[in-house]
Amino acid sequence: MENLYELTEGQLSIMVTNTGKQIQVLWEGKSNERNPSQFLKPFFNRIFESSKSLKLPIVMDFKKFQYMNSSTVTPIVQMLEYAKRENVALTFLYDNNRTWQELNFQAMKIFESEHPPIRIIEK
């Protein structure tokens, strides 16, 4: 397992790791910034570049993520749209015991597809 890079912004921490089988993106803390797109979009672009160059799928693990405001939903949805458009395999893992995660990620299931494989999975 190789740590690639990380993002820390306010109370939010995102660690990106190459497991050899996937690009693992672990979300922790809280995202309550007013305009998280400013730092999330360039960070997501970097993740997509790593996925393409290493030819590995992306797994976003939100299970330890404590909170996100509505401003954070937009760049996450845009990431799903990009993955679908650019044929990038992407999986979201979330904790369905956290009500806010269940509500947000259930709504995002409309982006699930077979090709590219986009999955939103409760754990």
Domain count, the chain: 1
Q: Can you tell me whether residue 45 is helix, strand or coil? A: helix
pLDDT (0 to 100) of residue 46: 98
pLDDT (0 to 100) of residue 63: 98
pLDDT (0 to 100) of residue 89: 97
Angle 81-82-83 from CA coordinates, rounded to 5°: 95
Read off the CATH number of the domain in which 38 is found: 3.30.750.24
Q: Report the pLDDT averaged over residues 20-29.
A: 98
* pLDDT tens column, 70-99: 999 999 999 999 999 999 999 999 999 999
Average pLDDT of every residue of the chain:
97
| Structural domain containing residue 78 | 2-122
- What single DSSP character describes residue 110? G
Q: Report the pLDDT averaged over residues 38-48.
A: 98
Backbone torsions φ then ψ of 95, nearest 5 degrees: -95, 105
pLDDT (0 to 100) of residue 33: 96
pLDDT (0 to 100) of residue 56: 98
pLDDT (0 to 100) of residue 88: 96
Residue 123 and residue 63 in contact, taking contact as beta carbons nearer than 8 Å: yes
